[in-house]
Amino acid sequence: MPIIVNLDVMMAKRKMSLNELSEKVDITLSNLSILKTGKAKAMRFSTLESICKALDCQPGDILEFREEVSG
């Protein structure tokens, strides 16, 4: 999947644990973990907004597009 989720990078920059972010965003640890590991197939804009507010960042700080190289 060419969309990369850099949630772990932003959490590290803000020195925020998964538990702390889970509480601030009101999302379960398991769902947040799925997002963090890049296994999620979709994310609601409301969830993205809450994460950005909690981490004081922009959506582009969390989501990245990488072209897949076919070969």
Mean predicted confidence (pLDDT) in 23-38: 94
Banded model confidence at residue 1, pLDDT cuts 50, 70, 90:
low
Tell me, yes or no, whether 71 lies in a domain. no
The total number of structural domains in the chain stands at 1
Can you list the alpha helix ranges (DSSP code H) found in 1-71?
Answer: 7-13, 18-25, 29-36, 45-55, 59-62
- Residue 70 in domain: no
Q: At 41, which CATH number?
A: 1.10.260.40
Q: How many residues does the chain have?
A: 71
Task: For residue 35, give its domain range.
Answer: 3-64
Mean pLDDT of 47-69: 94
What is the chain's mean pLDDT, rounded? Answer: 93
Q: Is residue 69 part of a domain?
A: no
Tell whether 34 is covered by a domain. yes
Q: Which of 28-32, 44-48, 53-57, 67-71 has the lowest mean pLDDT?
A: 67-71
10 found inside a domain: yes
Per the DSSP assignment, residues forming a β-bridge with 3 are 65
Q: What is the pLDDT of residues 39-50, one digit of tens each?
A: 999 999 999 999
